[in-house]
Structure 1
């Protein structure tokens, strides 16, 4: 079936607006000879349901960009009333967002997982929609016969495709000239993390990669649209923003801007209290060489993670040339050395392909020596696998046993590194956004994006905390929470389970153990054995003066959040909150005043009722 072009001027419709099928989507009935199971499914009660009431099973494979696409598709389906479920059996339709290393990375293909899922869907007689890089890059795959397809630039029309598929049609939307809008409805997998695509496609032409087959040539979103999206997600409570693309460094070259311009615009939208962090996505060396100092300046910003993923792929210039990577090992070194020199605590991840066609033992030794020299904390090691249709697929291959041996050797070298040794006892600020796979730890990251596992309840998700590193592992470190940092209040937990608080990161914080401020500032703090809070007041006025100017607001604040302390830590919101004495709230002036007011009102009502009763009795006589 040929690709179905958008039939509307402008390439799409506004989010939330449905068009008649004939104007919006090109469709054709399914052929019985091709896919009889889908025809059989039309006879079931499922097909008689009102559109927008069915249940959708959504499965996502792959990279962060694909995850963002799935979140957008889930948001639109939810907005139109569809239910999303992780249960395959209860779903009326399956939506598989595919990603395959066959197209965009360097690992052996995992296409079998997709094929298995499609076969399972057919066996279950479920309507199926396939999205993502696989159908976009290889639309003629046998496995895709008889199923509906939505391309990577057509995710804003997933509702139309789903509706027509549920009616028994095969729908294909693959070609488009405009990017999907950034303000589409979205259901995040992690409500604290926004994956923000800043551009699609790439400028490269690597001999082993099929990214352009799937994502096309570079297409960048405007700076204003991306800044607006950051404002919106911050207001929505997002605490981490991941910039995602096939090559972050190439951003803006198609629209006359560059990555530093974008980064500075986005940083300006981040909250000043540091509650939301920005993480810059993968970037290839050629496109950041001319902006190294500007990017380093952004990475030094306190609300930007000092972390960057810069793939090198090989330590041999000869192999890089065969790969058509458009840079040398020396240029990669310049990127890494400059960033490490200019950005304190800089962490860099990289990628390596083992066994690329033409790689000699000498070439591989150069790669091993490069990895040994830098001892990078994250190295993604993969074996070369040829992708049909790429120049590398036609090159003479390295024997598979040699490829496997080199991969094992490099992995052994990498795993011998201990990148986090020496962190024990250090105090770090982390941003907590997830629950660890063990279910008993929370996952936070330092400014260098080092993973820190801490004990705590789910209520700590979305917060920032000061932690003491207690032990280190190969892939992450463990920490003990000392303080929970919020917008207005810092809560400190000491070894005696007492709580000390400071107003914000720019105010004085008190610590009983040291004259060093808990926020990292030197100060002369007063210490008491009681729970102590230092309120943040406007215009630098004293608390009493502030209260006199806003009595009503003070009374309202006084009466809320009087619940007992939760476990060992709880943010203390103001120094007007009632103090605890022997487990009972201590009576203060406002409590007495409110009680007097209640009693006075009661006696007044009783007096009025007695008077009215007396007057009625008098009239009777």
Structure 2
């Protein structure tokens, strides 16, 4: 399941695996789950969104549903939405229309129904709020019975121990809090996610222990604003990070990636955060949205910081953390933005030459203060977006890496099916040609060439050699090369798509929810009688008659009964041969006895 947010700017880099948008559930004996990417989906994931989708898929799978790729064969559609920008909501509307045309039961989850429950498009449709994902099975089953369910009331935070199906078995997306403390005038997510709610340090550390024991190799902390963590429960981000680091294997087999943080709160902990980013098991990468290079625009946005404070964050981290990579976001054409304001933004991006920048055009969200402000003409907004994109794409952030030997952590296969995708400690994407057996390991790689979005390398040792420390680290680890990945949800991000179009890029969003593709769920006709498909991110699941056992690999879920059936068949074949042999022997014995009896009687 993926976020359906749209990206503005250059196309995705070669080898980048984009997120899926829709999934269906179909009733087959051996159900398979397939993710279908929505045209509106930019690629990488939104922080909370992807995690929410994984949790919902996990619960459905644990309850006996199977995920499939074909929406038409799904018993029900489950759409997980994001409310950051209009394109996302438009994509949701399109999917709802397709679902109604296909006459499939439908459940819509995520920020859109939570923040805009009275939308006409949601009339007569089951909806589930961002803090009700632990009841997704209940909602799905009632919807399949023909009932309309609406669960939107907030309660305690969902448990971190809910069943979960990871899109990538090597990566755990761990939400550390929901909601935020900000009040940005353009943000709709606050309406959906609410005020800050942080998980306890002990709960998060316990989850880290669990996922490491399950073989996870990367942990992405997800949040609307990582820096604000703990302010509601009397703790803070540095305390949490140090507690998590204490659980990471000393051999660096599992790495930690810190999610998006806004400048106001990280300013209080800059040196402590820098110390954490220097740790060998933590990626030296951070996503810090600036949104504009003009103080007057930042004031209109109610961002609660100025450009100099943003500079302080960037300059301090780059000074204290060797090889530090920083990604950022820009909104073009915010109401009241003048030519001079935009010029200041362009100058800021030119000065720092960030390798990852998510460039977004302003979209008014109903109910937000910015929606009532005087708009910048759309033609001007588009021209500014194009100009900034051209400036951004003129940078060569990886120039000079050729010949370097760097350690990379490999966790996925590129979309070209040829390269594996690895990341340096600074989270620079490195594509290598190597056997899939090294997925989930770290290796030393020699950089052979660089592109605009990635570096290319060749593996020069085995994972075992790296783990023993026999190979050198990047000799230029202190260089200021920018990373190829970022968390992009303005309000919460861990994994998200970026304007930079990198494998794990950033998307300018303000939502921490799991905004992923539609979920298509296919259920066994013998038990449920029909199928259903999911949200903007969809998941296909089907219900089995026997207790299924989840297996997540390649987005495929197979029941343990399939394996048992195969074993039973093999046993039956052997028994058949024994029976036939026995019958044949008995027949021959009978013939011989009859012959002997007949001979005796005749004599």
Q: 2:100 aligns with which of 109, 122, 127?
A: 122
* Residues 416-445 of structure 1: per-residue CA shift (max 9 Å, x gap): 110100000000000000111211100000
In the alignment, does 2:343 pair up with 1:365?
A: yes
**How far apart in 1 are the matches of 2:319 and 2:330?**
23
Q: Describe the SS at the equivalent of 2:336.
A: coil
Deviation at 1:153, TM superposition (A): 0.4
- TM-score (ref. length: structure 2): 0.71
Deviation at 1:119, TM superposition (A): 1.2
Instruction: State the superposition RMSD in angstroms.
Output: 2.0
* 2:146 corresponds to: 168
* 1:407 corresponds to: 385
Q: Please tell me whether the aligned partners of residues 194 and 241 of structure 1 are also in contact (alpha carbons under 8 angstroms).
A: yes
Report the count of equivalent residues. 443
Deviation at 1:457, TM superposition (A): 2.1
Deviation at 1:222, TM superposition (A): 0.5
**How far apart in 1 are the matches of 2:229 and 2:397?**
31
Which is greater in Rg? Answer: 1
Q: Please tell me whether the aligned partners of residues 31 and 68 of structure 2 are also in contact (alpha carbons under 8 angstroms).
A: no
**How far apart in 2 are the matches of 1:264 and 1:408?**
41
Deviation at 1:456, TM superposition (A): 1.4
Deviation at 1:55, TM superposition (A): 9.2
**How far apart in 2 are the matches of 1:430 and 1:99?**
32
Q: Describe the SS at the equivalent of 2:303.
A: coil
Q: Please tell me whether the aligned partners of residues 411 and 421 of structure 2 are also in contact (alpha carbons under 8 angstroms).
A: yes
- TM-score (ref. length: structure 1): 0.69
* 2:221 corresponds to: 243
In the alignment, does 2:465 pair up with 1:490?
A: yes
* 1:67 corresponds to: 50
Alignment of 1:362-401 (within 5 A): 362-401=340-379
Q: 2:81 aligns with which of 98, 122, 132?
A: 98
Q: Please tell me whether the aligned partners of residues 407 and 474 of structure 2 are also in contact (alpha carbons under 8 angstroms).
A: no
**How far apart in 2 are the matches of 1:213 and 1:101?**
11
* Residues 178-235 of structure 1: per-residue CA shift (max 9 Å, x gap): 0000011100000000000000000000001111111111000000000001100000
* 1:140 corresponds to: 118
Q: Please tell me whether the aligned partners of residues 129 and 162 of structure 1 are also in contact (alpha carbons under 8 angstroms).
A: yes
**How far apart in 2 are the matches of 1:56 and 1:434?**
18
* Residues 277-333 of structure 1: per-residue CA shift (max 9 Å, x gap): 000000000000010000000000011000000000010111100110000100000
Q: Describe the SS at the equivalent of 2:446.
A: strand
Q: Please tell me whether the aligned partners of residues 345 and 448 of structure 1 are also in contact (alpha carbons under 8 angstroms).
A: yes
* 1:469 corresponds to: 447
Q: 2:468 aligns with which of 497, 504, 520?
A: 504
**How far apart in 2 are the matches of 1:116 and 1:243?**
31
**How far apart in 1 are the matches of 2:474 and 2:325?**
22
**How far apart in 2 are the matches of 1:176 and 1:323?**
27
Structure 1 unmatched runs, 5+ = 1-45, 103-107, 492-502, 510-516, 522-621
Structure 2 unmatched runs, 5+ = 1-25, 476-603
**How far apart in 2 are the matches of 1:330 and 1:166?**
54
**How far apart in 2 are the matches of 1:198 and 1:183?**
13
Alignment of 1:568-583 (within 5 A): none
**How far apart in 2 are the matches of 1:373 and 1:357?**
25
Instruction: Answer 1 or 2: higher relative contact order, Cα 8 Å, separation at least 6.
Output: 2
Change in 2 beyond 3 A, CA 1:76/1:358: same
Q: Describe the SS at the equivalent of 1:490.
A: helix
Change in 2 beyond 3 A, CA 1:480/1:55: closer
* 2:579 corresponds to: none
**How far apart in 1 are the matches of 2:168 and 2:32?**
21
**How far apart in 1 are the matches of 2:137 and 2:33?**
11
Deviation at 1:59, TM superposition (A): 7.3
